[in-house]
């Protein structure tokens, strides 16, 4: 009934309002930053090459934040560079061995599981923000009145948990089960979408490129987005 009482919008009115464009752009930038950190800053990394004549006990891979396996073969952990005592290459391997082994013997790993889960949970929490697309600050207003929305969110989280934790299913998506601490971290990172909504709501609309908002008539309709959810 409420939909029928709203004023009509012109046929030329853009589907996306400036508020929606602001949310899309800012949340996309935030998610891109987080995913880049998880992809390139977490897990072990294969260097491009290594010096087989280097004297010193050091592995020919290095760990980033968290020391999470990124598909490196388990046997690779025990391979070292030349001994510091005689400077004779031990277990000599050619440059690029690590990358070649990872490509040929890539296995499901927790690094992939964390990237996958963080991405999904960021979308999940951002669904709460997406309920308010007209610049509202409080994204939780009326959320408990929509039991269907809450049920869908719960189902989405359950499916993500099962995809990561059930053997066989997680193999299909290149993941292995995560620890409790890793799940807590992923949920925490995903939940950062909620405070980001408050910050994004303070971003002035005039900062948006004018060519994106030039055709939008703020006086058209009743000022309430057609797709707004209570």
Specify if 222 maps to a domain: no
pLDDT reported for residue 214: 55
Cα 177 from Cα 164, distance rounded (Å) = 6
Structure tokens at 143: 């959320």
pLDDT reported for residue 15: 72
Specify if 58 maps to a domain: no
Hey, what's the torsion of the CAs at 43, 46, 48, 53, to 10 degrees? 130
Cα 154 from Cα 193, distance rounded (Å) = 17
Question: What is the span of the domain harbouring residue 116?
Answer: 16-41+109-210
* Stretch (H or E) spanning 32: helix 18-41
Cα 166 from Cα 138, distance rounded (Å) = 36
Specify if 64 maps to a domain: no
Task: Report which of 98, 127, 106 is spatially closest to residue 191, judged by C-alpha positions.
Answer: 127
Specify if 99 maps to a domain: no
Helix (H, G, I), strand (E, B) or coil at 176: coil
pLDDT reported for residue 48: 44
Cα 126 from Cα 23, distance rounded (Å) = 10
Cα 193 from Cα 63, distance rounded (Å) = 28
Specify if 66 maps to a domain: no
Question: CB-based contacts of 3: which residues, under 8 Å, 6+ apart?
Answer: 226
Specify if 131 maps to a domain: yes
Structure tokens at 205: 């609309």
pLDDT reported for residue 216: 55
Report which DSSP code applies to 64: -
Structure tokens at 29: 């930038």
* Stretch (H or E) spanning 63: strand 62-63
User: What are the angstrom distances between the C-alpha of 230 and each of 139, 150, 169, 198, 218?
Assistant: 10, 13, 36, 18, 21
pLDDT reported for residue 131: 86
Cα 197 from Cα 133, distance rounded (Å) = 11
Specify if 93 maps to a domain: no
Residue-level pLDDT, tens digit, the chain, 230 residues: 455 676 777 777 777 777 888 888 899 999 999 998 888 777 765 544 444 444 444 444 555 666 676 655 555 544 444 444 444 444 555 556 555 655 544 577 888 899 999 999 999 999 999 888 777 888 888 888 889 999 999 999 999 999 999 998 888 888 888 989 999 999 999 999 999 999 988 888 787 777 656 555 555 544 454 444 44
pLDDT reported for residue 67: 62
Helix (H, G, I), strand (E, B) or coil at 175: strand
Number of domains making up the chain: 1
């Amino acid at each position: 009934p409420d939909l029928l009482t709203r004023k009509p919008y012109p046929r030329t009115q853009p589907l996306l309002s400036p508020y929606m464009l602001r949310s899309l752009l800012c949340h996309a930038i935030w998610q891109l930053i987080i995913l880049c950190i998880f992809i390139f800053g977490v897990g072990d990394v294969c260097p491009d090459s290594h010096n087989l004549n280097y004297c010193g006990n050091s592995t020919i891979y290095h760990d980033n934040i968290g020391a999470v396996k990124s598909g490196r073969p388990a046997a690779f952990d025990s391979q070292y560079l030349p001994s510091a005592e005689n400077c004779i290459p031990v277990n000599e391997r050619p440059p690029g061995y690590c990358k070649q082994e990872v490509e040929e013997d890539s296995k499901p790993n927790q690094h992939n599981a964390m990237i996958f889960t963080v991405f999904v949970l960021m979308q999940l929490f951002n669904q709460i923000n997406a309920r308010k697309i007209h610049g509202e600050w409080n994204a939780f207003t009326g959320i408990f009145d929509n039991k269907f929305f809450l049920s869908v969110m719960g189902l989405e989280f359950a499916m993500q948990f099962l995809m990561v934790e059930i053997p066989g299913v997680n193999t299909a998506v290149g993941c292995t089960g995560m620890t409790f601490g890793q799940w807590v971290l992923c949920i925490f990172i995903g939940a950062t979408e909620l405070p980001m909504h408050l910050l994004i709501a303070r971003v002035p609309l005039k900062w948006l490129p004018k060519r994106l908002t030039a055709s939008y008539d703020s006086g058209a309709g009743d000022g309430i987005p057609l797709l707004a959810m209570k």
